Structure 1
């Protein structure tokens, strides 16, 4: 009898663990996933948008997958892993691919994207949202309301400003941050009001001044570039307040804010703790930090022998190992890394205040 009871307890524990591994979506089906941003979230849109040379479609990008996939990485990116965690078995496609099936969502991210007005070879955050609004009837109001909207944007706004205004003073830097945040807020409001977004999953900006390409181009030595990191820190602090204020004004809006900056900084400062041998040099590229030219046919790039020992694959993009680690914390981490909800809890939250329009 006792033996049978132990078997029943074991089966019960096993069952609970099995169900706990799946996201608790209120509809019982995986939510749709939409991503917006720059090259960190680009899954191939650049190939369909720009006629410029596209390094991410060339080896050694995709090295860990045995083929390039249009991602600026040796393998999968953060949104790929999050998609699997919420129950989507196939990677969401680039929305600009005319053959793309959009039944599980889409990526609107394009390399080089900015919050502010874009150049001709990319799509700004606002243009990506406009594309989503244009296509919104592809999905029902309820599907869009329960979908997860992953966003990583703003890096190029600060990197471009730093290159064009290397001697900007604090007043000018703060003014630029204010402009970027104002435009970002406007985009989020359109995504909410016209697009029907109710669940945002936002990564704050990493320590851009510590990127291998920044260290290399600005010859900072062992230090990070303080100017760009100051703007990033200010941006991240204000981004948190913007999202919090939006949920106060619109009770149906919920969000996850992941502290990418803190997690990358910790890995830079304590590489061995996270299994890295190098967190300041790229795996692929050339130059003092191996940070330039990965994927370019006219550049003889170096390639590290073991990508998992590097934090960065190229001059500004993290390795697949790093991306998987970030995605797991984004999905199920505690309030020290993602707040006020992680993505798993965000998926499980019921959506109120339908229909979509609130204006």
Structure 2
């Protein structure tokens, strides 16, 4: 079993295909808020407020944010959810719900409930003692009550219905849990575990639907075998773990079918699958097309295993993160997040315009 500390979620959860426009993407849509659920691919600082080793609220994390201030984002800068919020004409940084520096006035136009290290499976969140997905939903219910108190029931219901919701989750269930822990492997085959997670994903969507959510993007898995840490521990050193990539492709196909079924059975729901697999794979395979130079390791330290507390100010960090696809051994750089979010907005979230 690999050390849980050498992981922490990633789950970029979104998009497909090749070159994106260099210019910033902006929808100009009248979306009142962007609301985020998920793991470290979108956690903007909730883990700062809980007892867990899955944290990044220290340098060099956040070094390319305004003021170079670490916020709990697992990157050198902004995350996919931040860029999506900006694309819809909203704030550039989506605040974490548990951050005491923000209040309901800021949360009314966007808020993040995500927790680094979590998954669809409650057993995944237990590994690093982070916020389980069901608790993220409970925080969202609390948020709805606060929102109604702040702007009134009618306006709150309008925000709830018209907001765009982003869910990026699932990678930890496989890399932190299934492939690293014995418990789930003794209970499920890979296909059986995929189906188990699909059931959890369906429950999650139905819960949100029952709470008034109508515009939801749910993320697929990235090419998780190509994350630097997985390449480091691969028996064929430096090569992507194709077994993990095959699992990701298979799960994404099943998730796509689920999206179609839920759109059919839940009236008024606009549910889209934002699949990061193809676009991230294209970046890894053709880095120079996107202005990258390094794909097999992160910017921090050796880039082969550092993340979280192992990636800190005492480790060497590359001078130019824009040349790296990954910031640490598990999480993308701000530049990569921007490319992915641009693609998602253009090709997946356009249905919400």
Partner of 1:273: 289
Partner of 1:130: 138
Distance 1:250 1:56, change over 3 A: same
> Post-superposition shift, 1:230?
2.5
In the TM superposition, 1:76-225 aligns within 5 A as 76-101=78-103, 102-117=107-122, 118-119=125-126, 121-139=129-147, 140-159=156-175, 160-165=177-182, 172-193=189-210, 195-225=211-241
Distance 1:67 1:219, change over 3 A: farther
TM-score for both structures, normalised by structure 1 = 0.80
> Post-superposition shift, 1:166?
11
1:345 aligned to 2:346? no
Distance 1:31 1:298, change over 3 A: closer
> Post-superposition shift, 1:22?
4.7
Quick check: 33-42 or 111-120, which moved more? 111-120
- Conserved 8 A contact 1:49-1:122: yes
> Post-superposition shift, 1:295?
4.6
In the alignment of these two chains, the number of paired residues is: 312
- Conserved 8 A contact 1:279-1:310: yes
Partner of 2:330: 316
Distance 1:299 1:235, change over 3 A: same
Over the residues paired in the alignment, what is the CA RMSD in angstroms? 2.5
- Conserved 8 A contact 1:38-1:110: yes
- Cα distance in structure 2, aligned partners of 1:126 and 1:85: 28
- Cα distance in structure 1, aligned partners of 2:237 and 2:184: 19
- Cα distance in structure 2, aligned partners of 1:22 and 1:151: 19
Quick check: 133-142 or 174-183, which moved more? 133-142
- Conserved 8 A contact 1:61-1:295: no
- Which structure is richer in relative contact order (CA contacts within 8 A, separation 6 or more)? 2
Which secondary structure state, in structure 1, belongs to the residue aligned with residue 64 of structure 2? helix
> Post-superposition shift, 1:69?
1.7
> Post-superposition shift, 1:55?
4.5
- Conserved 8 A contact 2:292-2:324: yes
> Post-superposition shift, 1:263?
0.5
> Post-superposition shift, 1:43?
0.4
User: Which deviations, in whole Å up to 9, do the C-alpha atoms of 1:319-349 show, x marking residues without a partner?
Assistant: 000111111111123xxxxxxxx32431x3x
> Post-superposition shift, 1:279?
1.0
Q: Which has the larger radius of gyration?
A: 1
In the TM superposition, 1:326-337 aligns within 5 A as 326-333=340-347
User: Which deviations, in whole Å up to 9, do the C-alpha atoms of 1:118-148 show, x marking residues without a partner?
Assistant: 3172112222112212332233222111111
Which secondary structure state, in structure 2, belongs to the residue aligned with residue 221 of structure 1? coil
Quick check: 219-228 or 151-160, which moved more? 219-228
- Conserved 8 A contact 2:26-2:88: no
Which secondary structure state, in structure 1, belongs to the residue aligned with residue 166 of structure 2? strand
Partner of 2:151: none
Which secondary structure state, in structure 1, belongs to the residue aligned with residue 180 of structure 2? helix
Distance 1:168 1:296, change over 3 A: closer
TM-score for both structures, normalised by structure 2 = 0.82
Quick check: 295-304 or 70-79, which moved more? 295-304
